[in-house]
Amino acid sequence: MPHAVSDPPSPAQDATMEDTATPTPAAAEAPEPETTGAPAPTEPTTDPSTATATEIETDTKTPEPSADAVKMELPSSPPGFGGDVIDVDEFGDLDDIDIDIDIEMSDSVAAAAASAPANMKMEDTSAAHTAAIVTIPAASSAAAASKEDAEIAAKIEGGAPNLEDLFDDDDDDLIQDLANTEFSTADVLSREASDPGVMRLFYQRLFPWRYLFQWLNHSPTPTNDFAHREFAFTLQNDAYLRYQSFSNSEMLRKDVLRLMPSRFEIGPVYTANPADRKLFSAAAFKPLAKELCFDIDLTDYDDIRTCCDKANICNRCWQFITMAIEVIDVALRDDFGFKHIVWVYSGRRGAHAWVCDKRARGLDDQKRKAIVGYLELLRGGSHGGKRVSLRRPLHPHILRSLNILKGHFQEDVLRDQDPWDTPERADKLLALLPDRQLQEALRKKWDAAPGRSSTLKWADIDAVAKTGSIKSLDMKGLLEAKQDIVLEYTYPRLDAGVSKKLNHLLKSPFVVHPGTGRVCVPIDVRKPEDFDPLAVPTVQRLLHEIDTYKPSDEDEADEAEETKDKEGDEEKKLQDWEKTSLRPFIELFRSFVLGLMRDEKDVKVKRERSEGMEF
């Protein structure tokens, strides 16, 4: 049962949260390989078309909130997977509403972006303005589109929407494009994941554009939640384009296919269209909302994982990410009442959490910082010293975390990592114990048995303590020290900078990691222990699966029979992603998006009814 947190800062360091404070956004970190931070928006002093790689955007830093500065009442919300798994069949009929607007970019703009120096940060894709040139459809086409949109809106208001058709990526124009595409399996498998040809095929055939649109738009009809959202592109030559914005998924898709970024990031929703930011003062153009995000990276565990280091991972050290997901997810749901949380694999060595509830999106920097403080536990650096020192009695969140983590400690840390296998590493364990006589007794025992495992060394602590030979030993203090050790070796290690700032950008789900070729797929939070990062499909594998797909089993035949076109009574073609191992991940994301949209719609209806009853 979620509750109002009266002392929401870290359980190890009490503080509070408040609704009233609205800090000035501080400058965020520069983009990093796994999670990209971006500076706070400022009015540039030079023309972006002549910008150099040395230009730096600055912003004022947010003052540290006092311990009594914030308090936030959080309503109840039942826990469950991201708003629960929704059966799309319950929604009835709804036509595809995505507006088809052609977007053009002049040859000079495209050339400027493609030829930009490596590592150059580009605010604009042209010398004059960031915005692409939008061609308005002819009046007859626009009228037809408006009529169609009105009919769809009427269906939604009628309460019988079928969101399945809404997410139909089987565009006629796209099919025609692909019909003329030369596709060679051998050629694709021999290319790098970042190859423009490979990326073009991925963006055309596999990327779930409309699911992404609906996730960020929170409605089946376009709103400013999407139109005023910032996107940032990292181009093949490492040029970085910020403040890109789009009215709908089709415009985003066409611009991505035009520029072919190696990846793109998602930023906040602003008070105005980011492309028009130069028309507004700094006070008028500011971030309004963004998902509350968390980043877990295995490089932060290098001091305790023994199997891998740096960018390398394996299934043994991935268990640290599993532990983090289990602890953070239950805290966000049970302690803060958040419901719509999606976890996404970063593509190499980490995971990102996106908290998508409306309350979470509207949090200012101070509240975000307070939530991070509540969840953070480890202090200090990774080079020596005790990093966990908790006051007793333990906070309920810490007690719950201990219960979650103690099994992982025995199996995933002691058995699989064997963190104290050498005398040097064993000395690190001894330094965390409270009594010097106990330390010396254990050191003597372990020196006599150099090959002793970490599991046995952990058991030796209690065995030696229970002999009664160490009169000065405080058994209660020893128990507390052991609890702190368990937490130091298992508790989540957050990249706090990703979570604290409203204007921080984060890599989009379903993009391809250029180093590994793996797709940034969602993780099923109901069973995070089953996720295998090394089995995540690569872009080359997915394109090969499309090329070699052959429907054979009866289930696929039955599904094709059930998806006959309503008007022509012809079988609806499977979308390309449905022919690949990406399918379960997109279906998981679709279920999450449907739950989020349903709750957003319910809130809107309740608000409109309440306003209608006012006299």
506 bridge partner residues: 266
Q: How far is CA 257 from CA 99, 105, 113, 198, 212, in A?
A: 18, 12, 13, 12, 16
Burial class (CB in 10 A: 0-12, 13-18, 19+), 614: exposed
Query: Quick check: is 89 catalytic?
Result: no
> How far is it between the farthest Cα atoms of the chain?
93
* Token pair for 125: 């894709």
Quick one: which of 581, 74, 48 has its CA closest to 360?
74
Alpha-carbon distance of 375 to 293, in angstroms, equals 13
Residue 434 corresponds to which amino acid? P
**Do 298 and 363 touch, CB atoms closer than 8 A?**
no
Alpha-carbon distance of 89 to 93, in angstroms, equals 9
Quick one: which of 404, 385, 280 has its CA closest to 331?
404
Contacts with 360 (C-beta within 8 Å, 6 or more apart), sequence order: 291, 292, 338
Alpha-carbon distance of 12 to 377, in angstroms, equals 6
Three-class SS state of 83: coil
Q: How far is CA 332 from CA 104, 201, 337, 342, 491, in A?
A: 42, 37, 7, 12, 15
Radius of gyration of the chain (CA): 27
* Token pair for 474: 């405080």
Quick one: which of 68, 70, 167, 150 has its CA closest to 575?
167
* Token pair for 430: 């001894």
- Within 13 A of 252's CA, how many CA atoms are on the CB side? 33
- List the catalytic residue out of 250, 297, 300, 326: 297
233 bridge partner residues: 241, 264
Burial class (CB in 10 A: 0-12, 13-18, 19+), 34: buried
- List the catalytic residue out of 98, 195, 230, 365: 230
- Within 13 A of 27's CA, how many CA atoms are on the CB side? 9
Contacts with 247 (C-beta within 8 Å, 6 or more apart), sequence order: 99, 101, 222, 226, 227
Pairing between β-strand 350-355 and β-strand 292-297 as defined by DSSP bridges: antiparallel
**How many CB atoms neighbour CB 523 within 10 A?**
23
Query: Quick check: is 169 catalytic?
Result: no
**Do 289 and 361 touch, CB atoms closer than 8 A?**
yes
Query: Quick check: is 102 catalytic?
Result: no
Helix axes 209-217, 583-612, angle to 10 degrees: 30
Its sign, for the CA torsion 446, 447, 452, 455, is: positive
**How many CB atoms neighbour CB 123 within 10 A?**
23
Alpha-carbon distance of 348 to 355, in angstroms, equals 21
- List the catalytic residue out of 57, 123, 195, 295: 295
**Do 428 and 454 touch, CB atoms closer than 8 A?**
no
Could you give the residue numbers annotated as active site? 230, 295, 297
